[in-house]
Amino acid sequence: MGYEDRVFRGIAVPLYLPLDEQLRKNPDSLTTMVKQMIKCLHGLRNDAHILHRDISGGNIMYKGFIDGQDWFILNDFDLAVFVKKNGQPLGPSSHHRTGTLPFMAQELVADMAKSRSPRFPKREPIQHCIRHDYESLFWVSLWHAINLVSPDHKVDRALQEEGLQYLAGWEASNLRYAASLKGMLLISADSLTEAPLSPSFEHLGKWLDAFRGPFGNAQLKRTARKGPFPNPRAHETGDGHVTRDALMKSIEEYEMRQDISPQEEQEKYEGYEEYEEYEEYEESQEEEAIEESSTSDEDDDSEDD
């Protein structure tokens, strides 16, 4: 009796590490992860026309140390949708709000609260957009900075309990309360200096605050309007405050300031008693440069005539 030949087939995939495992080993790699994910989300939205819609700690993984730097990947596209050029879904999407509650953008949490209230029977649901995915990345970063402790630091039980209570508000069953907490954190300058960051991440408090800044600006703009942004572009970008370039600029400007030594900082402001006075001087110099440029353009036009 003969036997049929059998062929073994298998799929080989790289081994990726969970995000929390890598950040626990190397807290500083959080900054690299954020920058890579900002660029990843931008590329998905603008090149592939895909909106992920579920940015969470479990959906970002560590690929490894390659070519001299850490590399992270974004996975789990179960809730992703294709979008048109203006950000609207290409086809029908879920009628239910998507995302992982602790990491959901403040505006979406507030919208969920309204959807469950009889006070807003005819409300128009907020359209999930790239700005919300960027903000989810911020909440993922802050959650890990509070929750993780590297082997180099002892666990402070009191601080750990404070952190757990702090994070519990983000997934409260009272969605209005959760949205209120997130909203206040976004618009409060230096709010992260008071957050119960773990000893392993407390040195990144001001860096995280620089990451938070653009979201706070968009939140203030939306609050001042007392309603939604006027068009799809403004909705997607928070009126220009939350884009890849705006987020990277805020982060990089902070990092550049950290590269300036105390002596260089003092020399920069030499002759100016107050920082505000120096800022006014810089603004006046920029205005003069613009005026000179305009005058030069006018002269060129007259010569062409």
143's enclosing H/E stretch is helix 130-147
Q: By the 8 A CB rule, do 181 and 214 touch?
A: no
At 275, is the pLDDT very low, low, confident or very high (cuts 50, 70, 90)? very low
Report the 10 Å Cβ neighbour count for 114: 15
What is the mean pLDDT of the segment spanning 126-143? Answer: 96
pTM (2 d.p.): 0.80
Q: pLDDT tens digit string along 218-268? A: 999 988 887 788 899 999 999 999 999 999 999 999 999 887 655 555 555
**What is the C-alpha separation between 288 and 294, in angstroms, rounded?**
10
Decide if pLDDT at 277 tops 70: no
Cα separations in angstroms, 301 against 252, 294, 297: 38, 11, 6
Cα separations in angstroms, 145 against 29, 91, 163, 207: 11, 37, 10, 11
- For the chain, the first-to-last Cα distance in angstroms comes to 99
Please report the domains of the chain, with CATH numbers, ordered by start residue. 17-259 (1.10.510.10), 263-295 (no CATH)
Token pair 């505000």 is found at 276
**What is the C-alpha separation between 272 and 287, in angstroms, rounded?**
19
